[in-house]
Structures are given as C-alpha cells and as structure tokens.
Chains A and B, each alone.
Chain A
C-alpha cells in the first residue's frame, strides 16, 4: 500500500478537471492506497455543507483536509463544512513530505 498526498487548489465550479481529480483520489483509494486530499485556496469552497452538487461527498475512502488559512480568508467557519472534513494547517503538507508520501498537486 502506498501513501498518496494530493493537493487541490481549485473548486469544481471553476474547472471540470476538479471532478476528475476527485475521481483520481477515489480510484487510488479503491486500489488499496492510503489517500489524503488537502484542499487549499479556492478548493475549500467545495467543503461548505451548503454546496448542492459536490463530488467530495463521494470520497468516503479518502481522508479530506481543508486548509485553515484558506477557510479564514474566505470567511468559512469550521461549523459550515461537511462532517468528515478536517481543518488542517499547512504543516500537514510538510509532514506528509517528511514522511515520504507521494505528493501530487492536482
């Protein structure tokens, strides 16, 4: 089993590529890998539980992290995001690298 740390900086309403990136995360997890998806910049817009159409809710096997700084910049409170998405600092990226995870900025 490999450990993948994926970084998404766009939201699904900005680019159709984002939904395909979600699918990459899901496929890697289904293949037996440990997968983390770190959302930063406008990617955190998709974490809002008020979002009607959202592929994030299909990523049951993927660990979902939302960058705290990006959430604050956009006025999104932790209480407003989907259950199951953790708020994390940018240190999560550094820790994953230090632990030799496979890093991909999608």
Chain B
C-alpha cells in the first residue's frame, strides 16, 4: 500500500484511439505499484464506463462473440478497480455529469460516479501529480 495518489483526465471515447489503451496501461502500472488513482472522464471518455457496452460476433470473419473476444472498456475499469483493492489502493472514477447527459450514457458500472469539473480541480490540488490526456 502507498500513500501516493495520481490523477488523470481522459477525454477520448472507447474503441477509437490508441491513447485509450495507453491511458489504461499507465493506470494499470500505477495500480500495480499500490498507488491510489483518480480518473476524471470528460467528454467522450464518459462512455468508457457505460454499463450497456456489449460484446458482439464478427460475421465478416465468421467469429462468434466468444471467438471475437471483443475487449470492452467497462470490463477493463471493473478489473482495474478490483486490482486496486487487492493492492490496498483505490481507483476512484468520476464521469462528467453534463457529458454523460449529452451522450445519454447514464448507466455506468458500479464504482463509477457522477461529478463535475470541480472534482477534477480538487483532485489536481490534492494529488502527487496529474496528467491530462486530451484528444488530438
């Protein structure tokens, strides 16, 4: 367990950019160290934790849903939260409420809560470091 706390702001939506994968790699590495991690999901990133994400088959390649094994970001977040708990740390996840409403992704997985940009500002003032991962 560590008393270090790192905060991140993510903006990219799921299934679009390599930055999303890289962001999760960084978060996973921080969690592996036992650090507490805060993630503020802004704009398209609020869909990362959308509970209704569903794996699908790939008819072009003739793969079933199981064979396709399509990765879902909501599952990555849930796994990281579980891993953080096992390491004695915590992954705290806030979705920007206005961004959620705009996109109609109001059903987030357990452990992800609704908030506002002021929450990110608060985290930034209290964390050891903050990294903003913007869209390009």
Contacts and interface: CB of A to CB of B under 8 A. Distances in A.
Interface residues of B, number: 19
A97 B18 contact: no
B131 interface: yes
Instruction: Give chain B's interface secondary structure class.
Output: mixed
Contact of A103 (B18, B129, B134): B129
Given A9-B18, A9-B19, A97 B25 contact: no
B33 interface: yes
Contact of A94 (B33, B132, B136): B33
B133 A94 contact: no
Contacts of B45: none
A52 B4 CA distance: 42
B29 interface: yes
Interface of A: 7, 9-10, 15, 40-42, 69, 89-91, 93-94, 96-98, 100-101, 103, 105
Interface of B: 4, 6, 18-19, 22, 25-26, 29-30, 33, 35, 128-134, 136
11 contacts: A10-B136, A15-B136, A41-B19, A69-B25, A90-B29, A94-B26, A94-B30, A97-B6, A97-B131, A101-B129, A103-B129
